[in-house]
């Protein structure tokens, strides 16, 4: 009988585990319930019994020592089990949206998440957008993770010290390649960071990927196209993002071609706007094979540098003011429309144009990417995303990557501001910012 009664525990554990595998969001609550039951039994039965036998002091000492061990061990294991997920992908591939919705999923599962963003400019739309979503974020400026590796390590340490995250997402500059050799190898050697798991995901806009895999011309120069191709080559986990923008039959066709051409890669379709659709990516991160199990990856650094330097960067803040708040939204839409039309008229490659519209209690992000600029005329669907303005002043942050001289690009932006400011009772004022064609560091892996 004792043997049969003992079987109840493993059988019960098996049944519960099978149930929770299908409902992972219930795991934190189930563990909390089990722990609560043990605490109740301890307080209701064990401690009173100990006191009856005259062991009051031993009971108190045991509770104190046990509590200390719980706090110490939970802190140690939380740090040791930290995961680092580096997310790369070409400009405008939807990395930020994917990370935000993945983070929301993980928080619902009881995880603590931190984010490290990366750009060459000081004012980053993505970082501000993460912070508006109340996600602990750090920023590496002035260069990519590869060029600013020591600062990247510092930001990881800051997040560990401030929030002890279970998971850190690190979003790289959208034109960067050669990250596995230059980032993950040193990270794995640095045991002081306490990173247990490292993964590498590459995102690509499925519309651009469709052109590329069907051998149709992309709107890039050969050198910028080199960056796009090397990112795909470097990936082991490739996400064909924005799949909702194609018909289901088109999605299946592209996925089948991609899997046939790259059998060594894990390739997923993804719509990052759908929070419920993030779980396949998160599951893939849990099962990704070690990053050192990969073929040799070689980069032609002079070509890489030339491709980077073709693109102008602009990071700028603006203020739009009016004594009549209802006039701000039409003026803002006009300004953005003029800017987009001017860039499309130039016929140059546009990596991305990102704007963060900041109100006192909220923010709205608008993002325009390479594939959007291929549409003629330019779609106006984004007008509905601009909220009504009920205050006299709003702040706008602009980040852009465009294949032209920085001076010429700045003139286009200034001209758009000037034309939109013709609206009656509207003032648009440029604040701090900069534009430049960066000189990329030539740091190579050792």
The two tokens of residue 344 are 């499309």
Could you tell me if 301 and 315 lie in one domain? Answer: no
Q: CB-based contacts of 71: which residues, under 8 Å, 6+ apart? A: none
For residue 7, being part of any structural domain is answered with no
Could you tell me if 240 and 321 lie in one domain? Answer: no
Q: CB-based contacts of 187: which residues, under 8 Å, 6+ apart? A: 84, 153, 193, 195, 198
pLDDT of residue 293: 54
Instruction: Pick the closest to residue 169 from 90, 95, 271 (CA basis).
Output: 95
Could you tell me if 342 and 296 lie in one domain? Answer: no
Could you tell me if 261 and 339 lie in one domain? Answer: no
| Per-residue pLDDT tens digits for 85-127 | 999 999 999 999 999 999 999 999 999 999 999 877 777 888 8
Within 13 Å, how many C-alpha atoms sit on residue 408's CB side? 13
Could you tell me if 195 and 173 lie in one domain? Answer: yes
State residue 73 phi and psi, 5-degree precision: -65, -35
Q: Which pTM was predicted?
A: 0.78
The two tokens of residue 201 are 């995901």
pLDDT of residue 329: 93
pLDDT of residue 23: 53
- In terms of residue numbers, what domain contains 344? 311-436
For residue 264, being part of any structural domain is answered with yes
CATH number at residue 377: 3.30.70
Is the CB of residue 137 less than 8 Å from the CB of residue 313? no
H helix intervals, 87-200: 95-108, 125-132, 149-163, 179, 185-189
User: Sheet of 266-270: strands edge to edge?
Assistant: 136-140, 113-118, 167-171, 82-89, 195-205, 237-241, 266-270
Could you tell me if 371 and 249 lie in one domain? Answer: no
Could you tell me if 317 and 245 lie in one domain? Answer: no
Could you tell me if 243 and 387 lie in one domain? Answer: no
Is the CB of residue 356 less than 8 Å from the CB of residue 396? yes
For residue 23, being part of any structural domain is answered with no
Last residue of a domain, one of 306, 323, 339: 306
pLDDT of residue 445: 44
For residue 17, being part of any structural domain is answered with no
| Per-residue pLDDT tens digits for 143-177 | 788 888 889 999 999 999 898 899 999 999 898 99
Last residue of a domain, one of 269, 291, 306: 306
Cis peptide before 377 (omega within 30 of 0): yes
* CA–CA distance, 164 with 112 (Å, rounded to integer): 8
pLDDT of residue 437: 80
Could you tell me if 167 and 281 lie in one domain? Answer: yes
For residue 272, being part of any structural domain is answered with yes
pLDDT of residue 5: 58
pLDDT of residue 52: 72
Could you tell me if 161 and 242 lie in one domain? Answer: yes
pLDDT of residue 446: 43
Is the CB of residue 228 less than 8 Å from the CB of residue 212? yes
CATH number at residue 200: 3.40.50.300
Give the three-state DSSP class for 266.
strand
pLDDT of residue 1: 56
For residue 69, being part of any structural domain is answered with no
pLDDT of residue 13: 64
pLDDT of residue 411: 94
For residue 1, being part of any structural domain is answered with no
Instruction: Pick the closest to residue 233 from 196, 180, 310, 308 (CA basis).
Output: 180
- 320 forms beta bridges with 394, 428
All residue ranges of the chain with pLDDT < 70 are 1-32, 40, 42-44, 46, 50-51, 53-60, 67, 69-80, 289-295, 360-361, 439-446
For residue 57, being part of any structural domain is answered with no
Could you tell me if 222 and 358 lie in one domain? Answer: no
Instruction: Pick the closest to residue 89 from 255, 272, 340 (CA basis).
Output: 272
Is the CB of residue 369 less than 8 Å from the CB of residue 205? yes
Q: CB-based contacts of 322: which residues, under 8 Å, 6+ apart? A: 328, 331, 392, 393, 425, 426, 427
Last residue of a domain, one of 278, 306, 334: 306
* Cα dihedral sign, 269-275-281-283: negative
Count how many domains the chain has: 2
Q: What single DSSP character describes residue 183? A: I
Could you tell me if 163 and 288 lie in one domain? Answer: yes
């Amino acid at each position: 009988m004792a043997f049969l009664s003992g079987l109840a525990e493993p059988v019960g554990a098996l049944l519960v585990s099978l149930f929770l595998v299908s409902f992972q969001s219930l795991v934190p609550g189930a563990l909390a319930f089990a722990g609560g039951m043990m605490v109740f039994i301890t307080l209701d039965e064990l401690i009173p019994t100990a006191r009856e036998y005259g062991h009051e002091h031993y009971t108190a000492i045991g509770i104190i020592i046990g509590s200390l061990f719980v706090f110490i061990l939970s802190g140690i294991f939380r740090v040791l089990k930290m995961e680092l997920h580096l997310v790369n992908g070409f400009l405008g591939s939807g990395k930020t949206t994917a990370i935000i919705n993945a983070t929301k999923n993980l928080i619902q599962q009881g995880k603590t998440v931190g984010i490290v963003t990366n750009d060459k400019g000081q004012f980053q739309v993505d970082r501000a957008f993460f912070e508006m979503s109340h996600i602990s974020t750090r920023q590496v400026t002035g260069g990519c993770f590869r060029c600013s590796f020591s600062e990247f390590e510092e930001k990881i340490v800051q997040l560990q010290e401030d929030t002890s995250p279970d998971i850190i997402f690190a979003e790289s500059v959208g034109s960067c390649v050669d990250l596995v050799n230059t980032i993950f190898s040193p990270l794995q050697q640095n045991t002081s960071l306490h990173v247990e798991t490292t993964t590498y995901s590459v995102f690509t806009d499925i519309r651009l990927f469709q052109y590329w895999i069907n051998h149709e011309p992309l709107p890039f120069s050969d050198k910028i196209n080199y960056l796009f191709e090397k990112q795909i080559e470097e990936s082991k986990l490739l996400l064909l993002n924005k799949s909702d923008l194609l018909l289901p039959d088109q999605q299946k066709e592209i996925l089948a071609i991609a899997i046939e051409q790259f059998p060594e890669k894990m390739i997923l379709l993804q719509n990052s706007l759908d929070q419920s659709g993030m779980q396949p990516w998160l599951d893939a991160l849990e099962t990704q094979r070690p990053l050192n199990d990969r073929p040799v990856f070689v980069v032609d650094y002079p070509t890489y540098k030339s491709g980077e330097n073709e693109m102008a960067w602009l990071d700028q803040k603006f203020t739009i003011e009016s004594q009549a708040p209802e006039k701000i939204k039409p003026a803002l839409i006009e300004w953005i429309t003029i800017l987009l039309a001017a860039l499309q008229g130039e016929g140059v490659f546009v990596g991305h144009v990102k704007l963060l519209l900041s109100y006192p209690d909220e923010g709205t992000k608008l993002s325009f990417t390479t594939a959007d600029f291929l549409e003629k005329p330019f779609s106006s669907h984004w007008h509905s995303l601009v909220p009504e303005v009920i205050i006299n002043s709003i702040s706008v942050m602009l980040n852009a990557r465009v294949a032209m001289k920085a001076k010429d690009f700045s003139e286009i932006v200034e001209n758009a501001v000037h034309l939109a400011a013709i609206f009656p009772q509207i003032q648009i004022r440029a604040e701090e910012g900069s534009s430049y064609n960066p000189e990329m560091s030539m740091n190579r892996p050792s």
